[in-house]
A and B are shown apart, each in its own frame.
Chain A
Amino acid sequence: DVKVTQSSRYLVKRTGEKVFLECVQDMDHENMFWYRQDPGLGLRLIYFSYDVKMKEKGDIPEGYSVSREKKERFSLILESASTNQTSMYLCASSSGQGFGTIYFGEGSWLTVV
Chain B
Amino acid sequence: GDSVTQMEGPVTLSEEAFLTINCTYTATGYPSLFWYVQYPGEGLQLLLKATKADDKGSNKGFEATYRKETTSFHLEKGSVQVSDSAVYFCALSARSNYKLTFGKGTLLTVNP
Residues of chain A whose beta carbon lies under 8 Å from any beta carbon of chain B: 4, 31, 33, 35, 40-45, 48, 50, 58, 90, 92, 94, 97-107
Contact = CB atoms under 8 A, between A and B. Distances in A.
A6 B104 CA distance: 23
Given A42-B104, A101-B49, A48 B43 contact: no
A102 B100 contact: yes
A98 to B, nearest CB: 4
B22 interface: no
Give the top 4 A-B pairs by smallest Cβ distance, nearest first.
A42-B104, A98-B95, A99-B32, A106-B43
Contacts of B98: 31, 48, 50, 94, 97-98
B81 interface: no
B104 A40 contact: yes
Interface of B: 31-32, 34, 36, 42-46, 49, 51, 89, 93-105
Nearest to A102: B100
B42 A103 contact: no
B27 to A, nearest CB: 11
A35 B96 CA distance: 19
User: Which of A31, A97, A99, A104 has most B Cβ within 10 Å?
Assistant: A99
19 contacts: A35-B102, A41-B104, A42-B89, A42-B102, A43-B102, A43-B105, A45-B99, A50-B98, A98-B31, A98-B32, A98-B95, A98-B97, A99-B93, A100-B93, A102-B46, A104-B36, A104-B45, A107-B42, A107-B43
Nearest to A40: B104
